[in-house]
Structure 1
Amino acid sequence: MQSMKGFEEGVEFLPVNSTKQVEKRGRRRWVLLAALLLGLLLLALVVGLLVWHFQRRDVQVQKIFNGYLRITNENFLDAYENSSSPEFLNLARKVTEALKLLYMEVPVLGPYYRKSAVTAFSEGSVIAYYWSEFSIPQHLEEEAERAMAKKRVITLPPRGRALSNFMVTSVVAFPTDARALQRTQDNSCSFALHARGKEVTRFTTPGFPDSPYPARARCQWTLRGDAGSVLSLTFRSFDVAPCDGQNSDLVTVYNSLSPVEPHTVVRLCGAYPPSYNLTFLSSQNVLLVTLITSTERRHPGFDASFFQLPKMSGCGGSLREAQGTFSTPYYPGRYPPNINCTWHIQVPNNQNVKLRFKYFYLQEPNVVLGTCSKDYVEINGERYCGERPQFVVTSKSSKITVHFHSDHSYTDTGFLAEYLSYDSKDPCPGMFTCGTGRCIRRELRCDGWADCTDHSDERNCSCNPSHQFTCKNQLCKPLFWVCDGVNDCGDNSDELACKCPEGTFKCTSGKCLPEKQKCDGKDDCGDGSDEASCDTVSIVTCTSHTFRCQNGLCVNKGNPECDGETDCSDGSDEKNCDCGLRSYSKRARVVGGTDSESGEWPWQVSLHARGQGHVCGASLISPTWLVSAAHCFVDENSFKYSDPTKWTAFLGLLDQGQLTATGVQKHELKRIISHPSFNDFTFDYDIALLELKKPAEYSAVVQPICLPDAAHVFPPGKAIWVTGWGHTEEGGTGALVLQKGEIRVINQTTCEALLPQQLTPRMMCVGFLSGGVDACQGDSGGPLSSVEANGRIFQAGVVSWGEGCAQKNKPGVYTRLSMFRTWIKDQTGV
């Protein structure tokens, strides 16, 4: 009761009429309680965030670093090549002890060090290659990487008596993908090879070529040469899984015996044609080749070889003639990493020096454009790198110095340059001088074609109105480029006069309609062109401009077949699309010519007539059918060309001098079907179908090309490739290696004006009115290859006829293949 009294004495009684005060007191209590709860919640949140933050800081990340160091007071022993020898194990133990001492002196490394292992030794005095493992707090990860990448010298403390005479310098390491880590117990796919004398040593992926390389594996090849040598490595055949991101199967070559990124010479995936330059050099007597497989796809792998050659004592030198040439070491092979070359060029005293780089390939991955921080050529204080067209550099005196630098990593083909002396008052005697210093023939000035890379030959011109159009920017362009849908002037002035008024749409016929009538599901143009290319695919009335599905319905999308998107409700636009793809990407940079690569045009066929060799070309459209030109099979008094037994078809062929090369298939013809309407005077309907006696076997160099639908459009200005073994010049001789040339579709109206009364709707003009690139005798029957959606290639035409070869204003004429799609289907079922 006493406590109750105490309690009662502390209570304040309010008058009855003070009800509002009573209520107010009650609310304040709940507010205080709510505030207290909220405060507790905020406190818990802050504590939680702090706990999360510090826990996050304590998250440990496993880091593997691959590196190398130099032991300066040891001589290399042959026993060091054997990782099981006592000598190797003893020296490796010293290296790992030294590394541990080094890491303990670095605060960001010492507490988190786990272990190290030596993987190899090489000359110089002795270079040790190793990996070190750390478990580092996540927030220190970047700081640890910087510490490891800093070159250090190990200073051994007195307590390290066993290492007191062990001198180590140049200790450096870099983060490594854990997949690339070499573990001592993982030697099932590890190989050590040493070059002997001048012999070539061959090695392949396990199982090559009869079975695929191992799935989800890590393989490595340690390549060595004698002291004082460098290694030349060549991949003679290369086919691994296609490049598709971080999990690709990957072959990497290192200018080292440790897989450190700064010493990467090349990374390879996918497939390469045999003729592609896959030769790489080292800067010392070792290379490391690794294969990391992340997939289970079946590919044969690679066949490689290497040999040793003496190390260059130096490169560059003094050039004192009035003119000459020079190049990077081993050009047109790839230059080695880690070299410096300097050329001091001097011409007669009263002349200046002009350098012309004919070929220039100093490309390196992950280099910001224009920085030239890795491989470069330096002239007059300016650096040049990357991949450049022909360019000229001049001096203001009779002397010039050219310096070439290659770092430790990725290498390229390099450059080929020529130098000459010239009079600064007349740098191009009898010729036109480009703004870049390049000399071109005077007749190329103001011809509508940019022969100077800076377009200086086409500026300040007076255009010839009979065959040239004057752009607003004063450039001259061929008349046939006007209104072809391509901005050839650069300011679009060649296309401005061709447009309908703003807010309207121009039909193929030239008729202008309100924009709202485009893609409204109705044929307002009358020719279907307003419904032919719409963003949203819909069913429309069938016209000559629409694609007809197998179910009879038509869609308004332009060129929908085999573009990777299903546009027909029955999926027929994506059926029978096993065509128009090549195993090898168009990655070759052919030096000094237009030779094709093996497998670049796998549908190209060479037709040999008995006793005459190559006569015509053809294209493969299915395992048993070829397309060619009907005029190839017109009989003459001396030879019955229409007889299929007189012909042999060679598939997968690149060089006419190598008819029995690996991959080439030889086939006899079963029958020849020339179009019944073919006219051997006008060359109208110039198309023929050839059936093989036995089906072709598809391979990396034998594949079919896609046939275009009847509504497929190849617009004016579109780039298309013509290929063949025909004459390389009018009246010349045929080519041995398959030739390729990029040409453009020419507006049909322009072509009809150039070749009056000679063209029919079944013909198309492709080429350049300036001449220079064209099909010629012996190319007849070959394909026009057009790269369409997703890199798939369609055959636009068949080489048919022309007036001469590559003459001005005389473009080549080709059979328009889309006009014959129904006939081909009826005859072959394809």
Structure 2
Amino acid sequence: MKLAAALISNALANEYNDQCGGNITESNSIITFSNLGQEDNAWLSCQWFIEIPGATEFTVIPEYFDIEREEQSLEFLGCDYHYLAIRYLDRNNEFFCGKHEDFGNPPNPNNPGYSEDDQKNILWNARIVKSPGTIHYRRDGDFSSGRAEFALRIVAGIEAPDNFCFDTQHGSGRVVSRRSEDTFNASYQYFNNEICAYTLRADPGKIIKIRFYYFDLQDSSHCANDDDRLMINGKRYCGSYGTSSNAPDEFIVIKSSETVVRFETNGLGSPPGTANGFEFDWWSEDFTQEPVPFWSNMQIFFDRTKAQMESGDYVRPWRVPLFRRLFNRIKKTGIESYSQITGNCNYERQTPSYKIVDIKDFVEDRRCTNLMRMSEMGLDYIDSYVCMDGHPRPHRTLRRMKKWMKQIGDLGKRWCGMDIWEEGPSSLPSGLSCPAPEIQEGSGSRSSITEPEPSARIVGGQEVDRASSWPWIVDISDQMDSCGGSIISKNSSPQSDFILTSADCCFNFNFASFDPVITIGPKHLKFGFFEPSPGQFTVTQMNYPIIHPEFVPMSHGNDVCLIQVPNLSDATPDECDDCWAPVCLPQEHVDVGRLCYVAGWGGASRDYATWRTELNDVGVHVFSNEECDKTDGVFKLKESEFCAGTPDFDMDGETDAGKSICYADEGGPLVCKEGDTAVQYGVVSWGGECGKADHPGVYAKLAGPITQWIFETMEAVNSGNYEFTPPW
């Protein structure tokens, strides 16, 4: 049997056979599975959770693969009902079925029963998976055929046999990848539905420089997940030289001693000769961030920027002397003398990070960005290399360096019209509260509505402490799905309390006939379920969910829902030490440009492996609906909606990527800081595309009529004047 032969390939490997799922924590482990003798078992779901300590990614290497494909009336059904699912990189799940034994080589068109979909559906090459990740085998019902056998080796990092498109090069090298065999001396001939990874390691103390000689891939507007693309240092490239702005520059400098160049192809591909691949050389270059060359470059950058400001395009030419004074003041502090690129620093208030500063290019056509670029480089340099040890006035001087450099950036923001975007911390500050969030029965009080004070799949965010920063956030889950929600009341016993979430979540939960479980005080998430933690408790809805009467399923607008729960103060366990608190609701909508925050356990797909194990939050700016309608990812918003994301700080005509909502974040709260009060202005509704450029997230707008409906409904429920009806 082929499976047995695969297991003998490495006697030292850790075998995970005869199990329907499990945890894998060691490299060089082998997952084996066989359902021989149980082919008639029509329903089966097995999931392996892989998290190898110290590994940010791992490689899945198939040693044997055979999952019988479905056919019905001679029609090929693909891998819809009987499949192996692997989540890798930043794509959605890939589904595999079919049979293959010749690892590293694509299915042969001359094989009996060959299908044009085989290159896409058969697991014939390695896969890179971000850690933690999952491998999921599933057989769904009577449509699926029975046989399933496979052996998968799990290796920490990026590894594969020599005949695959994985390579590690040291010091210098060349990478050539072509679609057609007859193109000259390709290092690797690529096919559809592939991932290649080329690790480039510079000589010690040096950085990496790449020069392209040839580039020709399928073109698309964003080089998106479902297109062929090359990824270098977090940027995507596609298209062809001379015809596409998405093609790379001839020279690319990687300001690091190591990088991984990734090449991905989709399952559709293009005919040979229409997208032929790429070719580049790379080599090690000297590290040029020593103080003297860095500030020589900054002087040149200053001179060119000053000339731009004096050219007549700058609307505030009287600011040029201020720009000159700010830069000269920074130079006169002796910043070069108090810089070091290695070693210890005894100045206790700032320790250099020694993080390589990203040297920005001077831009001729987007002039206002140069002031911001210069400021960003200077501030990064101060954090990376400045040590004030031995300075007579270290704290005062360091503070002034940063202040003056920031003021240079502020000049650029005003020139670009970006001074409307509020600045603030990356996470929602801790310790915010909502005073007196109780409905006074019969009084009509709206004490939890807060008047805003004047302003002073989470993707791209960071872990936060739920209890101190987001004590109102809850998870709402059933057997099929998960959403976020927020606690918006703290009523006296025996009155009910209420959870606010999206109408779409409530509709989906109850349409599936599963009662969702609301987890309050959750901390850790694994396999899509919360691990028990001190003070955590769960409640269930007391009645039908209350969906906004103007919400239309499968549409947008008025996407809010109330869930009645038992009095939370009564339900709170003794070990809960302030483990929850409510959030306030607004009277008026938040101003455009404000920096607000959204949080959740969501991930990059519906696959549990991509969900966060800890609560994450991220800061997003509130856009006007007119700005939202100009983006690719948002069509015309309704009055009951607004969007938020990252402004177009790089001035490329698209809202910036990297920070957004994602799967399983739906229903969660968007919160802004109003003094010492946390105010929820929105409910996660749709959009965002998990951080994709020009795809801001869309939120239900709580201020105004929706907030009024929320409080009138809660009051009616607790006074016994509300009639519950099924929401569908």
Fold conserved between structures, TM > 0.5: no
For CA contacts below 8 A with separation 6 or more, give which structure has more relative contact order: 2
TM-score, with length taken from structure 1: 0.33
Rg larger for: 1
